[in-house]
Amino acid sequence: MPIVFTFHFFRDIIMNTRIFASFTLAAVAAASLVACGGGDDGPQAVEIQFAAMAGNTAIGCGSTVTGLGSTAATGNVKDFRFYVSQVKMIRADGVEVPLTLTANDSWNYTAGSDSVTLVDLENASGDCPTATGTTGTNAVVKGTVPAGTYSGVKMTMGVPFSMNHTDWANPTTTKAPLDIQAMAWNWQGGRKFAKIEVTDPLASAAAGTAGKWASPTFNFHLGSTGCIGNPATGTQVSSCTAPNRMEFKLASFNPSTQKVAVDIKPLLDGTNVTINQASATGCMSGGNDPECLNVFKALAIDWKADGTGTGLPINGGAAQTLFRAIAK
Protein backbone atom coordinates (compact mmCIF):
# COMPACT_ATOMS: atom_id res chain seq x y z
CA MET A 1 0.00 0.00 0.00
CA PRO A 2 2.69 2.60 0.77
CA ILE A 3 4.15 2.07 -2.70
CA VAL A 4 0.76 2.45 -4.41
CA PHE A 5 0.03 5.59 -2.37
CA THR A 6 3.34 7.10 -3.43
CA PHE A 7 2.67 6.38 -7.10
CA HIS A 8 -0.75 8.02 -7.02
CA PHE A 9 0.62 10.90 -5.02
CA PHE A 10 3.30 11.71 -7.59
CA ARG A 11 0.91 11.08 -10.49
CA ASP A 12 -1.48 13.70 -9.08
CA ILE A 13 1.37 16.20 -8.69
CA ILE A 14 2.39 15.68 -12.32
CA MET A 15 -1.18 16.04 -13.60
CA ASN A 16 -1.80 19.19 -11.56
CA THR A 17 1.46 20.68 -12.79
CA ARG A 18 0.42 20.04 -16.40
CA ILE A 19 -3.01 21.62 -15.81
CA PHE A 20 -1.41 24.70 -14.24
CA ALA A 21 1.07 24.99 -17.10
CA SER A 22 -1.74 24.74 -19.67
CA PHE A 23 -3.76 27.37 -17.82
CA THR A 24 -0.75 29.69 -17.64
CA LEU A 25 -0.01 29.35 -21.37
CA ALA A 26 -3.66 30.05 -22.20
CA ALA A 27 -3.64 33.15 -20.01
CA VAL A 28 -0.46 34.44 -21.67
CA ALA A 29 -1.94 33.85 -25.13
CA ALA A 30 -5.12 35.71 -24.21
CA ALA A 31 -3.13 38.62 -22.81
CA SER A 32 -1.03 38.78 -25.96
CA LEU A 33 -4.19 38.88 -28.07
CA VAL A 34 -5.54 41.87 -26.14
CA ALA A 35 -2.20 43.67 -26.41
CA CYS A 36 -2.41 43.42 -30.20
CA GLY A 37 -5.95 44.77 -30.29
CA GLY A 38 -7.63 41.43 -30.87
CA GLY A 39 -9.33 40.93 -27.53
CA ASP A 40 -12.90 41.54 -26.44
CA ASP A 41 -12.18 44.27 -23.90
CA GLY A 42 -14.18 46.84 -25.83
CA PRO A 43 -13.07 50.26 -27.13
CA GLN A 44 -10.05 52.01 -25.71
CA ALA A 45 -10.36 55.76 -25.05
CA VAL A 46 -7.79 58.09 -26.63
CA GLU A 47 -7.29 61.80 -25.98
CA ILE A 48 -4.72 63.67 -28.08
CA GLN A 49 -3.80 67.10 -26.76
CA PHE A 50 -2.35 69.97 -28.83
CA ALA A 51 -0.33 72.99 -27.71
CA ALA A 52 0.59 76.17 -29.57
CA MET A 53 4.34 76.64 -29.20
CA ALA A 54 7.20 78.91 -30.24
CA GLY A 55 10.19 76.66 -29.77
CA ASN A 56 9.94 75.46 -26.18
CA THR A 57 7.58 78.25 -25.06
CA ALA A 58 3.81 77.87 -24.92
CA ILE A 59 2.01 80.73 -26.69
CA GLY A 60 -1.47 82.10 -27.11
CA CYS A 61 -3.42 85.22 -28.00
CA GLY A 62 -1.60 87.35 -25.43
CA SER A 63 1.87 86.23 -26.50
CA THR A 64 4.67 88.20 -28.10
CA VAL A 65 6.99 85.86 -30.00
CA THR A 66 10.59 86.71 -30.77
CA GLY A 67 12.90 85.24 -33.39
CA LEU A 68 10.33 84.78 -36.14
CA GLY A 69 11.46 84.06 -39.68
CA SER A 70 14.60 85.00 -41.54
CA THR A 71 14.95 88.37 -39.79
CA ALA A 72 14.26 87.08 -36.26
CA ALA A 73 11.28 89.43 -36.12
CA THR A 74 9.06 89.98 -33.11
CA GLY A 75 5.33 89.42 -33.59
CA ASN A 76 2.13 88.95 -31.63
CA VAL A 77 -0.13 85.93 -32.03
CA LYS A 78 -3.35 86.93 -33.82
CA ASP A 79 -4.95 83.56 -34.65
CA PHE A 80 -4.17 79.87 -34.15
CA ARG A 81 -6.74 77.41 -35.50
CA PHE A 82 -6.65 74.35 -37.76
CA TYR A 83 -8.68 71.31 -38.77
CA VAL A 84 -7.41 67.76 -38.35
CA SER A 85 -9.01 64.73 -39.96
CA GLN A 86 -8.62 61.00 -40.56
CA VAL A 87 -6.80 60.45 -37.25
CA LYS A 88 -5.27 57.00 -36.86
CA MET A 89 -3.42 55.39 -34.00
CA ILE A 90 -0.46 53.24 -35.03
CA ARG A 91 -0.19 49.83 -33.39
CA ALA A 92 3.11 48.43 -32.20
CA ASP A 93 3.08 46.12 -35.25
CA GLY A 94 2.72 49.13 -37.61
CA VAL A 95 -0.97 48.70 -38.42
CA GLU A 96 -2.87 52.03 -38.62
CA VAL A 97 -6.19 51.95 -36.78
CA PRO A 98 -8.76 54.74 -37.39
CA LEU A 99 -9.83 56.74 -34.36
CA THR A 100 -13.60 56.88 -33.91
CA LEU A 101 -14.50 60.37 -32.75
CA THR A 102 -16.93 61.05 -29.95
CA ALA A 103 -20.45 62.20 -30.84
CA ASN A 104 -20.84 65.13 -33.23
CA ASP A 105 -20.61 68.43 -31.37
CA SER A 106 -19.20 71.96 -31.70
CA TRP A 107 -15.69 70.64 -32.41
CA ASN A 108 -16.17 67.22 -34.03
CA TYR A 109 -18.07 65.90 -37.02
CA THR A 110 -18.23 62.44 -38.56
CA ALA A 111 -20.08 61.53 -41.74
CA GLY A 112 -19.58 58.06 -43.15
CA SER A 113 -15.88 57.21 -43.21
CA ASP A 114 -14.79 60.86 -42.96
CA SER A 115 -14.24 62.76 -39.74
CA VAL A 116 -12.89 66.18 -38.78
CA THR A 117 -12.03 68.10 -35.61
CA LEU A 118 -11.37 71.81 -35.20
CA VAL A 119 -8.40 72.51 -32.94
CA ASP A 120 -8.91 76.09 -31.74
CA LEU A 121 -6.02 77.51 -29.73
CA GLU A 122 -7.16 81.16 -29.81
CA ASN A 123 -9.64 82.69 -27.37
CA ALA A 124 -10.47 86.11 -28.89
CA SER A 125 -8.31 87.94 -26.37
CA GLY A 126 -5.10 89.96 -26.67
CA ASP A 127 -4.33 90.52 -30.35
CA CYS A 128 -6.84 87.87 -31.44
CA PRO A 129 -9.87 89.85 -32.66
CA THR A 130 -13.23 89.30 -31.00
CA ALA A 131 -15.00 89.88 -34.32
CA THR A 132 -13.58 86.75 -35.95
CA GLY A 133 -12.36 84.73 -32.97
CA THR A 134 -14.19 82.66 -30.39
CA THR A 135 -13.88 82.65 -26.62
CA GLY A 136 -14.35 78.90 -26.64
CA THR A 137 -11.27 76.79 -27.31
CA ASN A 138 -10.55 73.17 -28.13
CA ALA A 139 -7.12 71.62 -27.72
CA VAL A 140 -7.99 67.92 -27.93
CA VAL A 141 -9.09 65.18 -30.28
CA LYS A 142 -11.04 62.54 -28.39
CA GLY A 143 -12.17 59.16 -29.56
CA THR A 144 -11.80 55.41 -29.25
CA VAL A 145 -9.84 52.59 -30.87
CA PRO A 146 -10.02 48.83 -30.31
CA ALA A 147 -8.13 47.71 -27.23
CA GLY A 148 -4.47 47.25 -28.02
CA THR A 149 -0.94 48.57 -27.73
CA TYR A 150 -0.25 51.72 -29.78
CA SER A 151 3.05 53.46 -30.35
CA GLY A 152 2.28 56.37 -32.69
CA VAL A 153 -0.30 58.59 -34.36
CA LYS A 154 -1.04 59.72 -37.91
CA MET A 155 -3.42 62.40 -39.16
CA THR A 156 -4.15 65.05 -41.78
CA MET A 157 -4.27 68.80 -41.29
CA GLY A 158 -7.21 69.60 -43.54
CA VAL A 159 -10.87 68.95 -44.22
CA PRO A 160 -11.87 65.85 -46.22
CA PHE A 161 -12.98 66.64 -49.78
CA SER A 162 -16.49 65.32 -49.13
CA MET A 163 -16.99 67.92 -46.38
CA ASN A 164 -14.98 70.83 -47.69
CA HIS A 165 -16.97 72.52 -50.44
CA THR A 166 -20.19 73.54 -48.72
CA ASP A 167 -21.70 76.87 -47.73
CA TRP A 168 -20.58 77.52 -44.15
CA ALA A 169 -23.85 79.37 -43.42
CA ASN A 170 -26.24 76.66 -44.67
CA PRO A 171 -27.27 74.44 -41.73
CA THR A 172 -28.84 71.83 -44.01
CA THR A 173 -25.52 71.04 -45.68
CA THR A 174 -22.94 72.16 -43.14
CA LYS A 175 -22.51 70.99 -39.57
CA ALA A 176 -20.24 72.27 -36.79
CA PRO A 177 -17.29 72.76 -36.73
CA LEU A 178 -17.44 73.59 -40.45
CA ASP A 179 -19.91 76.43 -39.90
CA ILE A 180 -17.41 79.09 -38.77
CA GLN A 181 -17.18 82.05 -41.11
CA ALA A 182 -13.60 82.88 -40.13
CA MET A 183 -12.52 79.41 -41.29
CA ALA A 184 -14.42 79.59 -44.60
CA TRP A 185 -12.47 80.49 -47.72
CA ASN A 186 -14.74 80.56 -50.73
CA TRP A 187 -17.03 78.22 -52.60
CA GLN A 188 -14.22 76.80 -54.69
CA GLY A 189 -11.55 76.56 -52.02
CA GLY A 190 -13.83 75.39 -49.22
CA ARG A 191 -12.26 75.86 -45.79
CA LYS A 192 -9.10 77.33 -44.43
CA PHE A 193 -7.49 74.12 -43.19
CA ALA A 194 -5.24 76.23 -40.99
CA LYS A 195 -5.39 79.88 -39.93
CA ILE A 196 -2.25 80.93 -38.08
CA GLU A 197 -1.46 84.64 -38.01
CA VAL A 198 1.08 86.97 -36.39
CA THR A 199 0.89 90.72 -36.31
CA ASP A 200 3.38 93.60 -36.11
CA PRO A 201 3.45 94.59 -32.41
CA LEU A 202 4.07 98.23 -33.36
CA ALA A 203 1.04 98.44 -35.65
CA SER A 204 -2.13 99.68 -33.97
CA ALA A 205 -5.18 101.01 -35.74
CA ALA A 206 -6.51 102.35 -32.44
CA ALA A 207 -3.31 104.25 -31.71
CA GLY A 208 -2.82 105.26 -35.32
CA THR A 209 0.63 103.68 -35.63
CA ALA A 210 1.53 101.99 -38.89
CA GLY A 211 4.21 99.69 -37.55
CA LYS A 212 7.33 98.51 -39.37
CA TRP A 213 6.05 95.58 -41.41
CA ALA A 214 4.93 95.97 -45.02
CA SER A 215 1.55 94.63 -43.89
CA PRO A 216 0.33 94.73 -40.27
CA THR A 217 -0.33 90.96 -40.28
CA PHE A 218 1.45 87.95 -41.76
CA ASN A 219 -1.23 85.37 -42.57
CA PHE A 220 -0.73 81.68 -43.03
CA HIS A 221 -3.92 80.27 -44.53
CA LEU A 222 -3.80 76.70 -45.83
CA GLY A 223 -6.47 75.49 -48.22
CA SER A 224 -7.15 73.85 -51.56
CA THR A 225 -6.53 75.88 -54.72
CA GLY A 226 -7.29 75.51 -58.41
CA CYS A 227 -10.66 73.94 -57.67
CA ILE A 228 -13.02 73.18 -60.55
CA GLY A 229 -16.68 73.98 -60.03
CA ASN A 230 -18.68 76.63 -58.22
CA PRO A 231 -21.50 75.52 -55.90
CA ALA A 232 -22.72 79.13 -55.76
CA THR A 233 -23.86 78.73 -59.37
CA GLY A 234 -25.07 75.16 -58.98
CA THR A 235 -21.90 73.32 -60.04
CA GLN A 236 -20.31 71.23 -57.33
CA VAL A 237 -16.53 71.20 -57.03
CA SER A 238 -15.21 68.11 -58.77
CA SER A 239 -11.47 68.43 -58.06
CA CYS A 240 -8.68 70.81 -57.03
CA THR A 241 -5.31 70.98 -58.76
CA ALA A 242 -3.60 71.57 -55.39
CA PRO A 243 -5.50 69.84 -52.53
CA ASN A 244 -2.91 71.07 -49.97
CA ARG A 245 -3.92 68.62 -47.25
CA MET A 246 -0.94 68.08 -44.96
CA GLU A 247 -0.25 64.56 -43.73
CA PHE A 248 2.02 63.83 -40.80
CA LYS A 249 2.94 60.95 -38.56
CA LEU A 250 4.52 60.83 -35.11
CA ALA A 251 6.00 57.35 -35.07
CA SER A 252 6.70 57.51 -31.34
CA PHE A 253 3.78 59.03 -29.47
CA ASN A 254 2.04 58.15 -26.20
CA PRO A 255 -1.10 60.27 -25.59
CA SER A 256 -0.99 59.44 -21.88
CA THR A 257 2.35 61.16 -21.36
CA GLN A 258 2.78 63.36 -24.44
CA LYS A 259 0.97 66.05 -26.39
CA VAL A 260 1.39 67.42 -29.91
CA ALA A 261 3.28 70.70 -30.18
CA VAL A 262 2.32 73.00 -33.08
CA ASP A 263 5.44 75.12 -33.47
CA ILE A 264 5.15 78.48 -35.22
CA LYS A 265 8.92 79.00 -35.44
CA PRO A 266 9.77 76.22 -37.92
CA LEU A 267 6.59 77.08 -39.83
CA LEU A 268 7.99 80.56 -40.55
CA ASP A 269 11.65 79.59 -40.67
CA GLY A 270 13.35 81.22 -43.66
CA THR A 271 10.43 83.55 -44.39
CA ASN A 272 10.66 87.30 -43.93
CA VAL A 273 7.35 88.08 -42.25
CA THR A 274 7.99 91.82 -42.35
CA ILE A 275 7.76 92.12 -46.15
CA ASN A 276 5.20 91.08 -48.72
CA GLN A 277 6.18 90.19 -52.27
CA ALA A 278 2.73 89.29 -53.61
CA SER A 279 -0.83 90.56 -53.41
CA ALA A 280 -1.71 88.12 -50.63
CA THR A 281 -0.67 89.30 -47.17
CA GLY A 282 1.54 86.40 -46.14
CA CYS A 283 1.12 82.87 -47.49
CA MET A 284 -2.42 82.03 -48.52
CA SER A 285 -1.49 78.86 -50.41
CA GLY A 286 -0.93 80.65 -53.70
CA GLY A 287 0.80 78.41 -56.23
CA ASN A 288 3.45 81.01 -57.02
CA ASP A 289 3.39 83.23 -53.92
CA PRO A 290 7.05 83.56 -52.79
CA GLU A 291 5.97 83.77 -49.14
CA CYS A 292 4.76 80.16 -49.44
CA LEU A 293 8.10 78.64 -50.44
CA ASN A 294 9.49 77.91 -46.98
CA VAL A 295 6.08 77.58 -45.33
CA PHE A 296 5.16 74.66 -47.61
CA LYS A 297 8.60 73.19 -47.05
CA ALA A 298 7.82 73.08 -43.33
CA LEU A 299 4.53 71.33 -44.16
CA ALA A 300 6.21 68.85 -46.54
CA ILE A 301 3.66 69.65 -49.25
CA ASP A 302 4.79 69.76 -52.89
CA TRP A 303 4.97 73.45 -53.90
CA LYS A 304 6.86 75.00 -56.79
CA ALA A 305 7.49 78.67 -57.54
CA ASP A 306 6.15 78.33 -61.09
CA GLY A 307 2.80 77.11 -59.83
CA THR A 308 3.23 73.49 -60.94
CA GLY A 309 3.29 72.00 -57.44
CA THR A 310 0.90 69.12 -56.93
CA GLY A 311 -0.23 70.18 -53.47
CA LEU A 312 0.27 66.59 -52.30
CA PRO A 313 2.24 65.44 -49.24
CA ILE A 314 5.89 64.64 -49.91
CA ASN A 315 6.81 61.16 -48.65
CA GLY A 316 3.77 61.11 -46.38
CA GLY A 317 4.92 64.30 -44.67
CA ALA A 318 8.00 62.61 -43.24
CA ALA A 319 10.09 65.82 -43.30
CA GLN A 320 7.45 68.17 -41.87
CA THR A 321 8.57 70.38 -38.98
CA LEU A 322 5.30 71.95 -37.77
CA PHE A 323 4.17 69.14 -35.47
CA ARG A 324 6.20 67.20 -32.91
CA ALA A 325 5.65 65.24 -29.71
CA ILE A 326 6.49 66.85 -26.36
CA ALA A 327 5.94 65.87 -22.74
CA LYS A 328 2.72 66.90 -21.04
Domain encompassing residue 129: 36-327
Q: What is the pLDDT along the chain (328 residues), one digit of tens a residue?
A: 444 444 343 344 434 444 334 434 333 333 333 333 444 578 999 999 999 999 999 999 989 999 999 999 999 999 999 999 999 999 999 999 999 999 999 999 999 999 999 999 999 999 999 999 999 999 999 999 999 999 999 999 999 999 999 889 888 889 999 999 999 988 778 999 999 999 999 987 666 677 899 999 999 999 999 999 988 788 899 999 999 999 999 999 999 999 999 999 999 999 999 998 877 899 999 999 999 999 999 999 999 999 999 999 999 999 999 999 999 9
232-263 burial by CB neighbour count: b if 16+ within 10 A, else e?
A: eeeeebeebbbbbbbbbbbeebebeebbbbbb
pLDDT score, position 206:
67
pLDDT score, position 35:
36
What single-letter DSSP state applies at residue 294?
A: H
Query: Looking at the domain assignment, is residue 6 inside a domain?
Result: no
Query: Looking at the domain assignment, is residue 12 inside a domain?
Result: no
Residue 82: Cβ within 10 Å count: 24
For the chain, the domain total comes to 1
pLDDT score, position 207:
63
Query: Looking at the domain assignment, is residue 153 inside a domain?
Result: yes
Of the candidates 65, 111, 222, the one whose C-alpha atom is nearest the C-alpha of residue 157 is 222
Query: Looking at the domain assignment, is residue 295 inside a domain?
Result: yes
pLDDT score, position 85:
98
Q: Torsion-angle region of residue 265: left (phi > 0), alpha (psi -120 to 50) or beta?
A: alpha
Query: Looking at the domain assignment, is residue 280 inside a domain?
Result: yes
Query: Looking at the domain assignment, is residue 19 inside a domain?
Result: no
pLDDT score, position 277:
84
Of the candidates 184, 162, 164, 165, the one whose C-alpha atom is nearest the C-alpha of residue 233 is 165
pLDDT score, position 204:
73
Of the candidates 326, 163, 128, 311, the one whose C-alpha atom is nearest the C-alpha of residue 225 is 311
pLDDT score, position 205:
63
pLDDT score, position 26:
39
User: How far, in Å, are 62, 127, 206, 260 from residue 75 at the CA level?
Assistant: 11, 10, 18, 23
Q: Write the burial class of residue 277 (CB in 10 Å: 0-12 exposed, 13-18 middle, 19+ buried).
A: exposed
pLDDT score, position 309:
96
Query: Looking at the domain assignment, is residue 5 inside a domain?
Result: no
Query: Looking at the domain assignment, is residue 2 inside a domain?
Result: no
